[in-house]
Amino acid sequence: MTLEILRAVAVAASLLVVTPAGAQAVLPAPLAEPASYRINPGDQLEVYVWGEERLQRSVKVLPDGTMAFPLAGQLSVQGLLPQELEAVISERLKAQYRGQVPQVTVSVVAPTGLQFSVMGKVKAPGSFSPGRYVTVLDALSMAGGPVEFANLDSILVIRKAPPGLTTLRVKVASLFKSGADASDIALARIPVLETGDVIIVP
Q: How far apart are CA 18 and CA 197, in angstroms?
A: 15
For residue 65, give its domain range: 38-110
Give the DSSP per-residue string, the chain.
Answer: --HHHHHHH-----EEEE-TTS-EEEE-PPPP-GGGPPP-TT-EEEEEETT-GGG-EEEEPPTTSEEEETTTEEEE-TT--HHHHHHHHHHHHGGG-SSPPPPEEEEEEE-TT--EEEEESBSS-EEE--SS--BHHHHHHHTT-BPTT--TTSEEEEEEETTEEEEEEE--GGGGSTT--HHHHHT--PPBP-TTEEEEE-
- Among the candidates 58, 78, 110, a domain finishes at 110
* Ramachandran assignment for 169, one of left (phi > 0), alpha (psi -120 to 50 degrees), beta (any other): beta
Provide the β-strand partners of residue 46: 58, 107
| Residue 165 and residue 119 in one domain | yes
| Residue 104 and residue 131 in one domain | no
The pLDDT of residue 43: 93
- Among the candidates 76, 110, 144, a domain finishes at 110
Q: How far apart are CA 47 and CA 58, in angstroms?
A: 6
CATH classification at residue 175: 3.10.560.10
| Residue 128 and residue 170 in one domain | yes
The pLDDT of residue 59: 95
CB < 8 Å & 24+ apart, contacts of 161-166:
163/20, 164/20, 165/20, 166/17, 166/18, 166/19, 166/20
How open is the CA angle 188-1-192, to the nearest 5 degrees? 40
- Among the candidates 59, 88, 110, a domain finishes at 110
The pLDDT of residue 21: 45
The pLDDT of residue 176: 81
Interval 88-142: pLDDT, tens: 999 999 988 888 889 999 999 988 888 999 999 999 999 999 988 888 999 999 9
Report how many domains make up the chain: 2
| Residue 76 and residue 153 in one domain | no
The pLDDT of residue 152: 93
The pLDDT of residue 180: 61
| Residue 103 and residue 150 in one domain | no
The pLDDT of residue 183: 60
Mean pLDDT, contiguous 10-residue spans, the chain (202 residues): 39 37 39 66 94 91 95 94 95 90 92 93 95 90 95 93 84 78 62 91 96
